Amino acid sequence: MSRSAIYPSLEGKIVFITGGASGIGASTVRAFDRQGAVVGIIDIDSSSANQLITDLDGPHQFVQCDLRNIDELTSAISKLERKIGKAQVLVNNAARDDRHDWREIDANYWNERMDINLRHMFFAIQQIAPWMIDERCGSIVNIGSNSWWECGAGFPAYATAKSAVHGLTRTMARELGAYNIRVNTVVPGWIMTKRQKDLWVTPEALQKQLDRQCIPTPIEPEYVANMVAFLSSEDAKMCTAGNFMVEGGSI
């Protein structure tokens, strides 16, 4: 049983989460489920998303979407609005940190990395924010990355896209703040998702990361999800344009 905080202001809230089928996204779905929120998942992975919804008790919904296609994203958001209502919280989580050599990538690969790690965030905000403006409230949480803060190597296109998330957050916080809409970035460290463990976590690499952290403990995705839930609640009413680190002090 989770001992995480419960925020009464999140009960019944409608939350849209991109990339919510697995990893940090799935943990975030579970966190909002514990809060009594209603979650709409947008993801390309239908199998994992449907299994997650089956495992939870809430009236959550899933729409399959390749976020690299903005028309698909627009359609997916509209479908979720018809199913569960308009989002009061948007979590722009979807991303892929595939490794790549800067000597070998071409323009097409570079653009695809921007599409999957950055572009969809703006267009999700563009579609959802007008209703939040009408309601004079809302919370948008963009998921950033410790990669560029730590000068990480091995994924320059990914790190560039993730650094731009912070610019998007701060400018949209200014654009939307007058309407009582908050926009923040959560910055995960190296989070021990199944994908990370399957592809890149080795004893040597993990120890190197733990040596960098002030708190030398592997970071589970639930800690990122807990921060997202807090920032989405009324307890964080005066938090906007900020970077909220969940990286054990590695930056």
Positions marked active-site:
158
Instruction: Indicate the SS3 state at residue 139.
Output: strand
DSSP 8-state assignment for residue 104: T
Instruction: Give the CA angle between residues 194, 122, 9 to the nearest 5°.
Output: 70
Cβ-proximal residues to 203 (8 Å cutoff; 6+ apart), any chain: none
CA 133/CA 178 separation, integer angstroms:
9
Q: How far apart are CA 56 and CA 44, in angstroms?
A: 19
Rounded to whole angstroms, how far apart are CA atoms 77 and 63? 8
3-state class (DSSP) for residue 90? strand
Could you give the strand order of the β-sheet that contains 138-143, starting from the edge strand earlier in sequence?
A: 61-64, 38-43, 14-18, 89-92, 138-143, 181-188, 243-246
